[in-house]
Amino acid sequence: MSTPMSPSSAPRPSRKPRVAVVFGGRSSEHGISVLTAGAVLRAIDREKYDVLPVGITADGRWALADDAPERMAITGQRLPGVAELAGTYPGHVALPVDATSREVTYSEPGTVPKALGEVDVVFPVLHGPYGEDGTIQGLLEMSGVPYVGSGVLSSAVGMDKEYMKRVFASYGLPVGPFTVLRPREWARDQAAARKKVVDFAAEHGWPVFVKPARAGSSMGITKVHDVTGLDDAVEEARRHDPKVIVEALLSGREIECGVLEFGDGPQASVPAEIPPVTSHDFYDFEAKYIDSAAGIVPAPLTAEQTAEVRRLAVLAFEAASCEGLVRADFFLQDDGDFVINEINTMPGFTPISMYPRMWQESGVSYPELVDRLIQAALHRPTGLR
């Protein structure tokens, strides 16, 4: 089993760029992030880059982790976690808080911190809050360390489904009907908050989808068919996020499209289609990750439909000021119009995930995709840009 770089090693005057792959995290998508990290670690060209795996445990400790992608996989129905990958490293990792240094240190209780050497770029494969939402991006901006993916604002917009939809609507992108239950609304007057949703459903119809406003991987989502299931659905969403969004049912085909930054700007991949999952009420967590429901790549669309969804995906990328990569999710309605559902600024990134599969079909292999993202980050400055 290979291990991370020794804490005593020092950077050479002429060396390969060092990539810190940061994964895990405090969100409910911790295990999904570990899966993504395993795929990225397998794909990084070790002849071209040095790699430092850094896991964040579910309780927030930054830990050295074994460079062991074979252990970052689903076992039965159990997702992997950082705690077992970092078991031999009881201390914690610290990124620099000084923008004049990129020195990373490792500390164990009762010992002097040890230098791990400089990190040239961070690949934060974190999903959900405390990672994909602008928080780690802000930390890295303060540290002056380049990183893969979108910046603070676009990451925050991409995580908050309410403000994401408001930004899209302001740019003329078609969005579906929604309403929001803010934490104080539910805490102050549940009857009034419940009536708000009932009135929304009276206008747009049952069923509705009740979701955490700032979560992903279909966690905490309930399809609610009438008012009797509403309270339980809101409480389930609130287990993941005190802010809840309620969306109207959009009938039609689920279409996804990847966006990747190239030298001359963002470009869209061929789109994919998520077919109906007959064994599930909707495309939920188990359908995505446990039952491995497969998407169709490329989606069976007309040339005009393909061009339109690619145009809308790039427009969504630009509207939210994204960088690096985005997966944009749409519904192709029965009337032939596309409605954007959401974007993911750090989408699922295993080789069988939809984003890499769409780019594979577009002529960009998984290792090349990882390399492009790292190179783009190395050449993009931190700070205002």
What is the per-residue pLDDT across 163-183, written as a single tens digit (0 to 9) for each?
Answer: 999 999 999 999 999 999 999
- Position 299 scores a pLDDT of 98
Domains 158-174+251-378 and 178-248 share a fold: no
Q: Are 124 and 10 in contact (CB under 8 A)?
A: no
What is the per-residue pLDDT across 240-278, written as a single tens digit (0 to 9) for each?
Answer: 999 999 999 998 999 999 999 998 899 999 999 999 876
pLDDT for residue 133 is more than 90: yes
What is the per-residue pLDDT across 186-243, written as a single tens digit (0 to 9) for each?
Answer: 999 999 999 999 999 999 999 999 999 998 767 899 999 999 999 999 999 999 999 9
- Asked, as a colleague might, if the bond just before 13 is cis with ω within 30 of 0, I would say no
pLDDT for residue 3 is more than 50: no
CATH class for domain 178-248?
A: alpha beta
pLDDT band at 17 (very low <50, low <70, confident <90, very high): very high
Q: What is the mean pLDDT of the chain?
A: 91
pLDDT band at 152 (very low <50, low <70, confident <90, very high): very high
Q: Which residue has the tokens 């984003």?
A: 355
Lowest mean pLDDT among 4-18, 37-51, 97-111: 4-18
Q: Are 83 and 90 in contact (CB under 8 A)?
A: no
- Position 109 scores a pLDDT of 86
Average pLDDT over residues 93-102: 87
The better pLDDT of the pair 109, 341 is held by 341
- Position 98 scores a pLDDT of 83
Report the distance separating Cα 28 and Cα 126, nearest Å: 11
pLDDT for residue 10 is more than 50: no
- Position 279 scores a pLDDT of 57
Q: Are 245 and 180 in contact (CB under 8 A)?
A: yes
- Position 30 scores a pLDDT of 93
- Position 9 scores a pLDDT of 39
Backbone angle region of 314, left / alpha / beta, with phi > 0 → left and psi within -120 to 50 → alpha: alpha
Average pLDDT over residues 141-157: 96
pLDDT band at 7 (very low <50, low <70, confident <90, very high): very low
The better pLDDT of the pair 307, 216 is held by 307
pLDDT band at 286 (very low <50, low <70, confident <90, very high): low
The CATH architecture annotation of domain 18-147 reads 3-Layer(aba) Sandwich (3.40)
Q: Could you give the percent of the chain with pLDDT greater than 90? A: 79
DSSP annotation string for 263-303 = TTEEEE---EEE---TTSSSS-HIIIIIS-PPPBSS----H
pLDDT band at 105 (very low <50, low <70, confident <90, very high): very high
Which residues have CB under 8 Å from 75's CB, separation 6+?
A: none
Residue 86: enclosing H or E segment and its boundaries? none
Sequence ranges of the domains in the chain: 18-147, 158-174+251-378, 178-248
- Position 1 scores a pLDDT of 40
Whether the model pTM is above 0.85:
yes
Could you tell me which residues are beta bridge partners of residue 22? 54, 124
The CATH architecture annotation of domain 158-174+251-378 reads 2-Layer Sandwich (3.30)
- Position 310 scores a pLDDT of 98
- Position 354 scores a pLDDT of 95
Lowest mean pLDDT among 10-24, 185-199, 360-374: 10-24
